[in-house]
Structure 1
């Protein structure tokens, strides 16, 4: 009977761990590449305001690596298309919270441009990260969890000395990595599973007492 009791308890524990694992597995990761924004003929354009289920504001657009022969427009894009934040400002948000993990960031025309990235939740700033970028591409980790809005702001820096260089604090962003919030099993669910295991144990004891 002791062996049977342990087997039942192991089964109940397995069910609880399975429920926890299922909740964690449902956290889907997404990389926003902006490749589907390229219509095939324009080198620059406006970003869809609801791209990938987010609300985009500030001064967002898309840019292709063909837009310029130098600078961040060329260096900052992965593949063929990237997000451009004209004047260095862009915000993306949605009603349900998400995690913002990392992104590639470059300045279109400046070296040493200062970038501040903020994460917000219900109107309160919960994260802030500042760093310098150049016209060469760099990957930056943020790990903002449980936010509903992320804002980028770029300013300052020195315009590169190049005959083909443009002007402005534009930022080029690409491969923004976001993920969904992992749902945590409700305490009631865990207690229900535990209660089920206790019912099985009680039933086994009754069967043993009946046979005796």
Structure 2
């Protein structure tokens, strides 16, 4: 009998622990529909996918369709576009992990430069990576975990395109009160089962 109650308690605790795991998603921007005019269409990207986007040369990040000459997405049709010339794109959220993204320059063959990606927890920089980019998409991997802000800055001659941003979102960790409620509920179930057996 005690084995049965103990196994029920262990199952309950493991389910609660599993609920605090993280989930990952690849942001490819394909859920946004555009109606291009003059070969170009865009939309300011501020809050989407559980994240906040800010920055860019003129104080914004832009999401564009790929019909503009020389530009293209890594996959699908849409991508995030940040104006070059020392642009900065900031992505913020709650307890996120930046795994990777695809990046390239746009328009001209000489659109080359360097990008620095810095990860922050609060106001403290906890990780960074610098790399070069060209007019061809390439994958950059990071594995920056447990952060709440990502700052992407470029020093180059033209716009920077980001696509297929792989991020993870950690579920909130259950508070001790949650465990206490679970154990209390299991205790009441055990008491009810014991009374039923004795009657």
- State the shift of 1:81 in Å: 1.9
SS at match of 2:20: helix
Contact 1:50 1:56 in 2 (8 A): yes
Alignment of 1:79-90 (within 5 A): 79-87=76-84, 89-90=87-88
Deviations 1:68-104 (A, max 9, x none): 24xxx23x54212222211152323446443322211
1:26-79 Cα offsets, whole Å, 9 max, x none, are x4433332331532335435542424152322232234433224xxx23x5421
Contact 1:9 1:197 in 2 (8 A): no
Give the match for residue 122 of structure 1.
Answer: 122
SS at match of 1:135: coil
**Aligned with 1:23: secondary structure?**
coil
Equivalenced residue count is 190
TM-superposed CA distance for 1:153, in Å, is: 1.7
Change (3 A) 1:22 1:96: closer
Q: 1:5 and 1:89 mapped to 2: Cα distance?
A: 63
Confirm whether residue 193 of structure 1 aligns to residue 193 of structure 2. Answer: no
Alignment pair present for 1:48 and 2:37: no
Tell me the TM-score normalised to structure 1 length.
Answer: 0.72
* Structure 2 residue runs without a partner (length 5+): none
The 5-angstrom pairing of residues 52-67 of structure 1 reads 52=48, 53-59=51-57, 60-67=61-68
Max radius of gyration: which structure? 1
Summarize the Cα distance change of 1:62–1:195 in structure 2 as closer, same or farther, 3 Å threshold. Answer: closer
Root-mean-square deviation (CA, aligned residues, Å) is 3.1
Equivalent in the alignment of 1:103 = 101
Partner of 2:10: 13
Normalising by structure 2, report the TM-score: 0.76
Contact 1:89 1:151 in 2 (8 A): no
| Structure 1 residues 178 and 32, CA gap change in structure 2 (3 angstroms) | same
Structure 1: state its 5+ residue gaps.
157-167
Equivalent residue in structure 2 for 1:39, among 35, 40, 49 = 35
CA separation of 1:62/1:178 partners in 2, compared to 1, >3 Å: closer, same or farther? same
In 2, Cα distance between equivalents of 1:175 and 1:18: 31
